[in-house]
Each structure stands twice: as C-alpha cells, then as structure tokens.
Amino acid sequence: MKFIDESTIEVHAGNGGDGIASFRREKFMPFGGPDGGDGGRGGSIYAIADENINTLVDYRYARIHRAKNGEKGRGSDCYGRGADDIELRMPVGTVIADAETGEVIADLDHHQQRALLAKGGKGGIGNLHFKSSTNRAPRQFTRGEPGELRILKLELKVLADVGLLGMPNAGKSTFIRAVSAARPKVADYPFTTLHPNLGVVRANVNRSFVIADIPGLIEGAAEGAGLGHQFLRHLARTRLLLHLIDIAPLEDNADPVKDARAIVAELRKYDEALYKKPRWLVLNKADLLDDTARDKLAKDIVRRLRWKGPLFVISAISGAGCDKLTQAIMTHLDSLPAEQKAAHDIAA
C-alpha cells in the first residue's frame, strides 16, 4: 500500500434541532398549557488514534465528513433526538491542524486518544421553558445552533525511536533489511525509497526498538528539493539519528564528507531541535575495502568532519558490525529518561 502521510479534509458537525412552540390540546383540558420540547443536539466529529492503522490513505479519497443534524422538538413534552457522533480513526502519530490558521488541534501520540474536531450545535429550546406565572401561553422558542465547520490538515509523523539519515545509495534500506524484518525496496539508483519504511529491531527476546528508513536527502531539501523535504517531519519524533555514510562510493569524484555536511546543514535549516538530536556516525559498505584502506578512510572522514561522537563501521550487506550497533542503540534508548520512551512503547 502506498504510504500517505498528509491530507486535507472537511468536517461538518451537525446542526442542533429547533425547539418548537406547541400547546397541549386534549379533551377536558382546555387550558393544557405549553408542551413544546427542545431540539436534539447535532452530531460532533471526533478523531480516535488507532495503532492498527498506519497511513492516511482513507482521508485522501474521503475528504468530506458530515455528522447528522439533531431532530426538531415535538409537542407533548417530547424532545428531539440527538444525532450520533462520528469517530474518525487515524494512525497514532497524526497531527491535526486548522488548515486556515495553522493552529494545532490535536497531536494523536498514543493509542485510543480522542480529540474533538468539530462540535455539534446545541438544540433549540421549546416554549415549554418559557412559561411563567405572567406568561401562561408563551409562543417563544429558539432555533438550533449550527454545527462547527472546519477544514483540517492531517499530517502523519512516524513514531520511531531511530531515524536513518544519508544520501541516496548510502545503504539505508539495506541496513534496515539487515537488522529487522522489514523488506524495503533496494536498488542501485537514487531515491529507491519513496516513502518511510518502519522496521522493528529485536535486540533480544524482550527488548526491541523501531527504526525508520527515511528517503535520502539532497542539498536544498529544506527548501523542497528532491524527496527529503517531504519526509524530514518523520525525524521529529525519533530519539536517535543514525547518519549513514557510504565509505566506498562508486563515483571517483564523490566526496562523502561534503555530502555528510550538506545533510547536517539541511537538518539545521529545517529544524534546530532536529539538528540537536543525538546523532551517531555509521560508515557503511566496509566490505568493499580491505582493512588498511577502510581504517585509513574512516580516520580521514572523522578528521575532516571533526567528529567526536559515537562511530561505527559496518557492512549492511554482509551484516558485519550490525549486531554491535543495534546493541549499542538499545543500551542508549534504555538509558533515556522515562518520559522520552513513550514513542518506543507506543510503536512497539
């Protein structure tokens, strides 16, 4: 299924039913008095977070959602029936904002979270409520209130613990295939990954984390170039970034250090908080070099980047170094404060 991560919808809450002016007319009761009931409330529209849904594809095709109106009041003290509410089930990680003002209405970050999107109108009042000692035969009643109408923008942010950064062909899809059961498409041309892929990595029987393979970034991604800009939002919820670098690029004029700096610059342009997230350097495709050339290139990359953080040299295709990396990731995630572990607990 194609991954749909954003959509725009309209939600129309139901109008409240009108109250009614009615009088009791029965045999032997010539002065029965007012008996007009109230109108029923209009149906409201709610969003419900559902961990069993992983895309917004349903809202790409069903854009307008209407709740029913409340019934009008009736005589004999009968109130109109209230309309049923509508519940729209959305993936955990969906951010709902007003499309006109940009105001965030809800951030569905845990299963079964419920958020009001559009409130149904209140029912009108019947003349039953207007009677008094001085107004024995009131003819006043009120109309039902209109329900809310909103145009909403839905944006899905992947709930993953670890996000993969890297230029196209850095080996991110191969890495996620190596450490998880996910099977993203792998090929030898740029932009093989057209949508984020999630994989659950089992560090051991009782410990796991979720990793997201994000489409490759290129220079200018923060301004909309390439595919990266569209998916940078998915890194916002991650707790650790792995920056994969192709240590043995096929092109003679390729410069892994220059590419790495370009990606870091795009992160900073897009979001300073994203730039400040913990980031580890992972040098991939070590199987293409002998030990001497590999160590020399690794030292050169570290020196030119002035890198002082964690460093791992792996081969995603052969699996060399991958287990050591996943164990280090699990240890790092376990060491984080409890409040930062919510995303992992939800997604797992």
pLDDT of residue 155: 86
200 token code pair: 């659950």
Nearest to 39 by CA among 111, 108, 129: 129
Q: What is the mean pLDDT of each run of 10 residues along the chain (348 residues)?
A: 69 94 77 85 94 79 92 88 94 89 89 93 90 82 93 82 81 82 52 60 76 63 47 72 85 81 81 84 89 90 90 90 90 74 43
* Exposure string over 70-104, b if 16+ CB within 10 A, otherwise e: bbbbbbeebbbbbbebbebebbbbbbbbeeeeeee
pLDDT at 89: 93
Q: What is the pLDDT of residue 216?
A: 53
Q: Nearest-CA neighbor of 235 among 77, 5, 43? A: 5
Nearest to residue 242, comparing CAs of 143, 154, 175, 295?
Answer: 175
The number of angstroms, rounded, from the C-alpha of 300 to the middle of its chain's C-alpha atoms is 39
What is the pTM (predicted TM-score) of this model? 0.61
Tally of residues, the chain? 348
Alpha-carbon distance of 316 to 321, in angstroms, equals 8
Strands 197-204 and 64-66, by their bridges, are unpaired
Domains and CATH numbers, the chain: 6-156 (2.70.210.12), 162-347 (3.40.50.300)
